[in-house]
């Protein structure tokens, strides 16, 4: 299992033409986190920086999930909740320092991966989903970072429904149903619907695409740099049958089980709906695209007020440029 995951995360399928790596933060740290620094970490501010407050950390701590498996540091939410008022100020200061220096403790960046069986032949490692067990302090840090990240992220395409407030698979299904009904009303026959399922979606992400997408919308380098450190400088060990494998470093992917991974993945695939729409000028086929309520990528063809073209080139173009593999139809 360890060798299989190491090959999945190896980056062997990355395209030769990739976004550039982030500049080294060595020339920038420590980042000033005062209100006049202009680094823009404060949610809702766009500019100016808000430090982590003890009260906000304590409130976030209360929202940590209970009865969850711990990371390699063996800390659990149940251990932190009773002492949250005592440790909140210390953790707030620690989080502040992590953002200043774009550096986090190594235990936060070590994931113990537990393979969870999906379906198919149980002897095939590819039929298991790798779930990452990380430090609860990392999860708390990620939850505190999320409002800042959400505030400076590129606007998600309206077709994206995954991991968004008050949006679910039922909403996407309803939209698809309405599009099909409208198509039938106009054409008097039902449309063809193509579902695109990205294989090993989280595991094959080229993280450079995410970091450059954030920088392209003027996200503060301080925030992008600490995010890159959290996800690029990671080591993974496989936990199976009470045995722990030797660690390896993943070249691709965002950790399944990370608080920030769903949002980062949404940023990663955010260009797909726009690329489908841009194809409207190259075909007379009328389609509408719907992104999923999870990592896989369905695209439904139908007709709406703004016709969308789908010559079946764009999904493949995205799969090549983003190092995605499309699963075969099931």
The reported pLDDT for the residue numbered 146 is 95
pTM of the model: 0.81
Structure tokens at 85: 């008022």
Determine contact, residues 176/302, Cβ cutoff 8 Å.
yes
Crossing angle for the helix pair 136-152 and 54-62, to the nearest 10 degrees: 110
Count of other CB atoms within 10 angstroms of residue 195: 14
The reported pLDDT for the residue numbered 248 is 96
- The CA distance from 280 to 304, in Å, is 12
Q: Within the chain, which residues score under 70 in pLDDT?
A: 25-29, 31-51, 280-330
Residue 36 burial (C-beta neighbours within 10 Å; 0-12, 13-18, 19+):
exposed
The reported pLDDT for the residue numbered 215 is 95
- The CA distance from 148 to 152, in Å, is 7
The reported pLDDT for the residue numbered 169 is 86
The reported pLDDT for the residue numbered 61 is 96
Residues 6+ apart with CB under 8 A from 306: 277
Determine contact, residues 167/293, Cβ cutoff 8 Å.
yes
The reported pLDDT for the residue numbered 192 is 84
Structure tokens at 116: 């969870």
Question: Number of helices (H) and strands (E), helices first, in the chain?
Answer: 11, 8
Residue recorded with tokens 């729409």: 277
Q: How far is CA 97 from CA 10, 29, 67, 85, 104, in A?
A: 31, 11, 29, 20, 9
The reported pLDDT for the residue numbered 289 is 64
Nearest Cα to 219, choosing from 57, 27, 42?
42
Question: What ranges do the domains of the chain cover?
Answer: 2-326
- The CA distance from 69 to 25, in Å, is 33
Determine contact, residues 25/102, Cβ cutoff 8 Å.
yes
pLDDT, tens digit (0-9, with 9 covering 90-100), for 38-51? 344 444 433 334 46
Nearest Cα to 201, choosing from 248, 162, 249, 227?
162
The reported pLDDT for the residue numbered 327 is 61
The reported pLDDT for the residue numbered 193 is 83
Nearest Cα to 266, choosing from 316, 204, 202, 324?
202
The reported pLDDT for the residue numbered 321 is 56
- The CA distance from 95 to 53, in Å, is 10
The reported pLDDT for the residue numbered 47 is 35
The reported pLDDT for the residue numbered 167 is 85
């Amino acid at each position: 299992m360890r060798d299989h995951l190491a090959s999945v995360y190896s980056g062997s399928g990355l395209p030769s033409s990739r976004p550039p790596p982030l500049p080294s933060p060595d020339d920038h740290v420590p980042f000033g986190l005062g209100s006049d620094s202009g680094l823009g970490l404060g949610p809702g501010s766009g500019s100016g920086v808000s430090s982590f407050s003890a009260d906000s950390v304590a409130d976030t701590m209360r929202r940590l999930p209970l009865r969850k498996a711990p990371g390699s540091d063996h800390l659990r939410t149940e251990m932190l909740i009773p002492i949250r008022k005592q440790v909140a100020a210390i953790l707030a200061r620690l989080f502040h320092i992590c953002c200043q220096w774009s550096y986090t403790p190594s235990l936060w960046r070590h994931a113990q991966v537990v393979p969870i069986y999906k379906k198919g032949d149980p002897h095939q490692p590819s039929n298991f989903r790798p779930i990452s067990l990380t430090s609860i302090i990392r999860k708390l840090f990620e939850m505190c970072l999320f409002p800042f990240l959400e505030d400076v992220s590129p606007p998600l395409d309206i077709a994206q429904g995954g991991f968004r407030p008050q949006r679910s698979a039922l909403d996407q299904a309803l939209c698809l149903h309405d599009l099909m009904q409208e198509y039938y009303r106009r054409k008097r026959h039902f449309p063809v619907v193509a579902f695109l399922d990205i294989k090993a979606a989280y595991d094959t992400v080229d993280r450079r695409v995410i970091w450059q997408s954030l920088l392209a919308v003027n996200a503060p380098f301080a925030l992008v740099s600490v995010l890159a450190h959290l996800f690029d400088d990671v080591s993974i060990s496989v936990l199976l049958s009470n045995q722990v494998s030797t660690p390896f470093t993943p070249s691709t992917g965002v950790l399944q089980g990370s608080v920030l991974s769903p949002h980062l993945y949404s940023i990663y695939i955010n260009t797909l709906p726009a690329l489908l729409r841009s194809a409207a000028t190259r075909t007379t086929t009328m389609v509408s695209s719907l992104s999923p309520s999870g990592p896989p990528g369905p695209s439904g063809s139908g007709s709406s007020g703004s016709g969308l073209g789908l010559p079946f080139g764009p999904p493949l173009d995205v799969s090549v440029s983003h190092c995605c593999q499309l699963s075969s139809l099931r």
